[in-house]
Amino acid sequence: MTGNTILDRPKGRVRGAVRWREIEDALRADIVDGRLESGARLPPEPGLMRRFGVGRHTLRQAMAALERIGLVRIEQGRGTFVHEGAIRYRISRRTRFSQNLIEQGRDPGHIELRIGEIRATEEVRRALALPKGAMVIEVHALTSADGMPLGLAHSYSPAARFPGFAERRLKHATVSAAYAEYGIADYVRRNTTVEARLPSDDEARRLQQPRSLPVIVTRKVDTDLAGTPIGYSVTVWSAERIVFEFDPQAESPADSKEQRS
């Protein structure tokens, strides 16, 4: 009898569960394809309900999903608006996460999910030019912009060079401030690689995005001004929320001292 109960469940409930996702996909396409421009106000609920032939509850499920992934913002009493575009993230020899966001009027966020000392993997060891068996400080963090999840970062620094780094990193809002306690007033990015893939279940959950949407994975090596690696990071970014801009001028080794910050 239990099996019959499942089979005889009202079809309308199943259809409703699917329908809000169809509405989410349709509105997402309108936004991505530019039919709904950045900052535009979406039509009022009654109009959208007529367009999709659904009730208020189903429509609001779709809108809440769009808000969770950062495509719209819902303002009580005013309506729903297309989010004002993706974060434009400039990558140069001196890329700084917080500075990138602050310059765009965004509020940078950083939450440590895990921090501690581990033995370096082969990938990390090679990136940091460390001997076999070397220990590194691993920082796993969730970054955000205006409270919206933006990236999952795994960062590694040599434990021998930075004793007590875990405690100092937790004390400071930025890694630059933590490095400064070790006499590193400035550092540069040696290289950056970029690739795209689908997220894992955990990545999609933490970034609050569907499993079917791609993420961008960046790998970078930072060095001190003598060229010695001090940090290696692998960051998984929500592809819908960020656009990378590579600045070849700033990547030039001829960067002047006046540009350092």
| pLDDT tens sequence across 214-225 | 999 999 999 999
Residue 6: the pLDDT is 29
The answer on 97 and 56 residing in a single domain is no
User: Do 64 and 106 belong to one domain?
Assistant: no
CATH number at residue 62: 1.10.10.10
Shared domain check, 161 and 64: no
Q: What is the pLDDT of residues 177-224, one digit of tens each?
A: 999 999 999 999 999 999 999 999 999 999 988 788 899 999 999 999
- pLDDT grade for 12, boundaries at 50, 70 and 90: very low
Considering only CA atoms, which of 69, 162, 67, 151 is closest in space to residue 111? 151
- Total domains in the fold of the chain: 2
Domain CATH code at residue 158: 3.40.1410.10
Residues 64 and 98 in one domain: no
Q: Which domain holds residue 101?
A: 87-259
pTM above 0.85, yes or no: no
What is the share, in percent, of the chain residues with pLDDT greater than 70? Answer: 87
Per-residue pLDDT tens over the stretch 27-78: 988 887 778 877 789 999 999 999 999 999 999 999 998 887 778 888 778 8
Binned at pLDDT 50, 70 and 90, residue 147 comes out as confident
- In this structure, what are the phi and psi dihedrals at residue 246, rounded to the nearest 5 degrees? -90, 130
Whether 213 and 136 map to the same domain: the answer is: yes
Q: Looking at the structure, tell me whether residues 129 and 47 fall in a common domain.
A: no
Predicted confidence (pLDDT) per residue in 222-251, tens digit: 999 999 999 999 999 998 888 888 875 554
> Is residue 48 domain-shared with residue 100, that is, in the same domain?
no
Which amino acid is residue 200, in one-letter code?
Answer: S
